[in-house]
Structure 1
């Protein structure tokens, strides 16, 4: 059996995982519409928060809805066919964040999760229980069962706010001084995370936000060491195409840590695994072919392929290209 482990967060990660699953079903069919390949996604939970008494996990839910075919493709997040009557009532009572609207179907997921957590389950156990409803063909693991919420420190007056306030309410328009993952130093990887890295035949780094998604996963004690020790090639996909972010406002995050919004700059930020960094190989778009030599000079094997995931077939091809890059790394 082929074991594929993916570090993921957000919408870009969800769409990439959909392509990985499609690739696995085509190349490793089980005869019943599924795959004999085993895919595990280690998912960022730094965006999580408590709101109106509910535990909200944006990245886990985005990935789950996307793989279940229940997401809103037009908006890129949330459930298709949503209504927002409950959020309207909460606003009328002055409860919660009026700028953070939860759909009614989505609230059902949050209620279920909160029930399981209040019953004594860990986040990973609650996630496994919730996934029993959906046939997604991918194992989802939160990066940790601990609460490691990302906060943003304003570079204007030093005030601190939850990442979601900075991202959703302010659209990353407030210059950030730093990102803080609360209590990250006391956190531990969720059960199964380190095993998924150690047992992997290939580790893929999705085109997710390098700072507050992938960077947060890497900040959990023990995960970097596991990635350094795994015998699997580690292949990343650039979230930057032609000097622009594919989705969201990752450029504002990169600016905060002093990294240019460029495919080669993000690769160098991650670093070569041979030199103590993360990557063995890196995929960049055809529009960035001119910087491939910069990435190669940093000790990271580089492949130039189309990166835009416009639909499932293009996402599947991107997954195939990533797996081919892993094969080339193994042959070196």
Structure 2
């Protein structure tokens, strides 16, 4: 995986997508490591790797992730989390994470990660959060010296198959003044509904902490319903299978009609953002009901119907991708132009876990940046 993103242009040789200001809402810290960094950290930590050649290791991650199964896809994280068990490892990974986002034109990013998965070498939950924040701050300072203004917020994540969600929710609230902007639950979705974590969600609601929930990726409408009504989610992590609640029929002649089910209607009318990740959704089989190619992804259907769609990478290492690349792939598949890409970024600005005034500033920066291209 090349940490210097390739240049992506709009169809017809138009504007550089890389140069456009972007917002990243769904990007996992342990899914965005540089292969060379994994090799170096693994050597010092005594972690065995499939290969110690950085380029070959990057290719290995992509092959392993192309399983069509979320469960198999998640196994690749055993390698990345293994080298993120010390303060030094977390600081470095977080700093490089920011540098890579800035190189991709991101001006605001929310990085999600699960502190409970980084305690095997003696760190406490609080120490892990502090280490990541130290790295994020260092990255912001470093890219700022090069003239790139970027802001990063942490999304503290609990694992849905574990029973630590209330403790992690309390951790998130405890660090909301130190870089944490929201809470997430992730991991194996099927069989682990949001209602298992009601105590955590009740606490977060009491503390007015924003919540996003992975839902509608490896499970369907009931999982999304649980994210919204048990989890009180303000955004849906992926949410792609919400399209199962959209019915398309044929009327007279060649005319078609679309009917939204009650769940889809609720999500659209309340402008609940969908954190769609096109390449990842293909890899995990999240769009299997519609096909196996990007052209089959219901992204465009949801966009045309007025849902608040956003573009995300999910895991840049596993998908060998960047935000610029994801936008380019969508443009190629659906013929999007610069105005469409601007809508996606404004959607992300509106959905960011920031105060209203700061979201408006982000939107202004997006508009100004797109006007200059």
TM-score (norm 1): 0.37
Please identify which structure carries the higher helix content.
Answer: 2
